[in-house]
Each structure stands twice: as structure tokens, then as C-alpha cells.
Chain A
Amino acid sequence: MRLEGTNTLPAPVETVWRTINDPDALRGCTPGLTDLSPTGPGTYAAMLTIGIAAVKGTYKGTLTITDKREPTHYKIILEGSGGSGFMRGEGTIDLEADGDATRVKWTGDMQIGGLIAGVGQRMLGGVGKMLIGQFFKCLEQRLGPGA
């Protein structure tokens, strides 16, 4: 499943870069991320509870940030498994100045398997997009006026 998009955040590139490298901001803004603790340089142990309505799964895994080109690019790798399936995802983030704001271009490629994929196939792409949308809305609020 491939997803991509562009979002504009109301802050300069350097500020956005600091925010998307800040474990607190990531923890606060990633929907369902209940734990993110550093285990090494750029690697974290993550606990994620994702779901819609009554269908919720908890996944335990690792999150790695690599290929950093400060302050405009990194790659993020997420691997996890839980009772209802497993997932592996890779994404890139590119920042570009747009006046006083920053354009964030993102791509993601997710593999989801197990029960949840068999049953939830129809909705996985849409739910993924919705969660990424929530992530950027949260960053926007964090970086917006009065932040």
C-alpha cells in the first residue's frame, strides 16, 4: 500500500525539523502511539494502538529514523506485530521552505499482514490516510500561532 501527500505547516523549516525530531512531539502527535523510548541513536521501541470503532489492535515494534540530511530529509522505518497482524512501513519526509511556512512532502509504503489485513483490506488505505492527516493536523496546532 503506497501513500503520499503534501502538507503545509505554519513554521520555518528549522522549527519543523526540530519538531519532527523531537520524541515528545512524535509521541504527542502520532495517533495511537502510547510509548516511544529511545534504544539507540535514531531507534526507538514503540507501542502503538491503532484501530477504528471496536476494531483495535496493539502493536509492539521499533521505529528507526535514518538517512538524515539536516534540516530537510529523513527516512522513517516502522516495524511491529501484535495479536491481529503485523506491519512494516517505510516513509520519507522532505521539507521545503514556502515563505514563512514549510511544505512537507511525505511518502509511505506499508505492508500489513495477518488477520487485520484479510478482514480490513477495504479500509486500510483510507484509515492510513486518515491517521497521517491527524498527525499533520496535530503538528499544525503545535506550530501554529500561540504555540
Chain B
Amino acid sequence: MNEFAGFQRPVNFPEPVYDLAKNPVTKDGFELGRKLFYDPRLSRNNTIGCGTCHIQAAAFTHHGHDVSHGIDDRLGSRNSPPIMNLAWSKAFFWDGGVFHLDLQPLVPITTLSEMDEKMSAVLEKLRQHPDYPGLYKKAFGTEEINSAKTMKALSQFMLMCVSSNSKYDKVLRKEGEKFTAEEEEGYQLFKQKCNGCHMEPLFTDYSFRNNGIPAGRNDDRGRFVITLDSNDAYKFKVPTLRNIEVTAPYMHDGRFYGLGQVLDHYRFGVQHTPNLDPLLEQGSGHGIPLTDDEKLKVITFLKTLTDREFLKNPLLSEQEGLLIYDK
């Protein structure tokens, strides 16, 4: 067995935003967080774990679901975002309503359409479990099970979900891989036309922008619901493009099922809705001009952001013997 390396900043990544000194990732803390992440006890009727809507093979998104599908077959109103490189994220959710990773899991646990559970009930279930008190003691020194320890353990697991070993990374870090001619052309086009928002190396600048998709039928105004600032209406967080090949469907409401559709939106579909991002308003028309050939090359490049090591890393997978039925 390899020794547990803890959180490692990839050499081509900036310093993380999350203050790891306040919650150092340890083997025991991480393993507790992983067990919690996959444990359906976090939901009211013990059916939904975090891993239900955040599937590793889909870069921890809910593959194939436009909006997340929670307890009692209830549906949410937004697409399940990836759990990936969150140590660099300044705000969480499509509207950035949560400002710290340690406060993030409170949302799905208590949201009616997701896990619909009370935190006190979660803690009580964990206290009654034969293993958890001992695991909390190993991770945090005492058997006491409380909100802070639970959230910090979940953060330790999520912080370890680092995707930095795609072909793109290996090319950029000069680890012996090379782009094909088409990938290289796609990369150059990407740098000209997409990098303004989907900034390297994390492929997002973490800003909130209106990308010109028509408002959905539920008129979700995104960032506005958090700031109540009319200048934020219809803005959503710029999502990362890492592992984009496996995280369909796309956009905050999962309206596009393929990358071709997404790029066609930028080519032909950008609407002049309030607060449309200025980067999409250049020249005479809206959107991003791309020929059919260029579009295919950009998609070819985007596929170099797929990180198979991350998607299959057994360290991040549900471990055997975790199912509730086992105990």
C-alpha cells in the first residue's frame, strides 16, 4: 500500500483558497469523510448519499440527469456540479450562495428535494452506529460526534478530489505527452475564444456571468437570489471545463446534452438578456464566432481535459462494506 500523501498542490496549480492549516487532511479524517460521503444515513430515509448525485466516473456529477434527482424521486432545479478541485473554489453552488466548503454539505443534507434530513438527526444516527464514534476518535481525538467535525471530515474528502492528471496537464508539465495537431489547434482556439472565462489551469475564473442562454421556464435568476443586485440577474458561476467530456448534461439547468450543443449555443444561440457578459458582445453580433471545423477542434481539445486517473482513483471510490445493509 502507498502511504497516504495527504493534500498535494499540483505544480501547475496556484495556492489553494481553502485554509488547509485550519483543517489539515489526515488519513483518518479523509477516510471518515469518504465514509460519510457515501453514507445514505445523511438522508431522511437512508436512501441518498452524497455519492448518489456525485458519481466519481462522471467527475462526481449526476451523469445523465439535467437536474439533481433526490429523495422520494424529488427533483431539484439545478444541475449537480462536479466535486473536483474545490480547494481552489471561492464560493459554492451555481449562485455562489455558500462561501466556505465546510458549510457546503449542509445544503444538500437539509434541502427538501435532495436529502431532506435534519442535521441533529444525522448526528444522532452516526452516534448510534457501531463504527462512527471510533472513527471520529481516530480522526479528531474524541468520540464526540458534532456538526463541525462532520463537516470538516467531509471537506477533507472533497479536498482530496483533485483532478490534475489529464493529458492537458501532462503536456503542459512536459511529462512526455504531446498534443496531436488537432488538439493543438483546438488549444490555440480555446486560448483565443474561451479562456477569458474558463481560465487555465482550473478552467474557470470563478466569476459569475450571464452566458446568454435564454432564461428557463422557472426564471432562475442565479446570482441575483444571493446578492439581490439587479446587475447579478441571470448570472451563474463559470463552471470548470475539467472532465467536461464526462459531466453531461451542461449549464445550470442541464439543458444541453452534448458539447456540440454547448458550442452551438455560443456560436448561434446567445440571447441579449439582461447583464449579458461583455465578452459575448464583441463585434456586430453576439456570441463567439467559430467555424464547424474550429468547433470540432475545440471539442477535441476539451477532451484532453479528461483525467482518467481521477475518474478511477480507488482512493476516492466507495469502499466495500459501507452499505447500510451490512450492519
Partners in one complex: no
Listed in ascending order, the chain A residues whose CB lies under 8 Å from chain B are: none
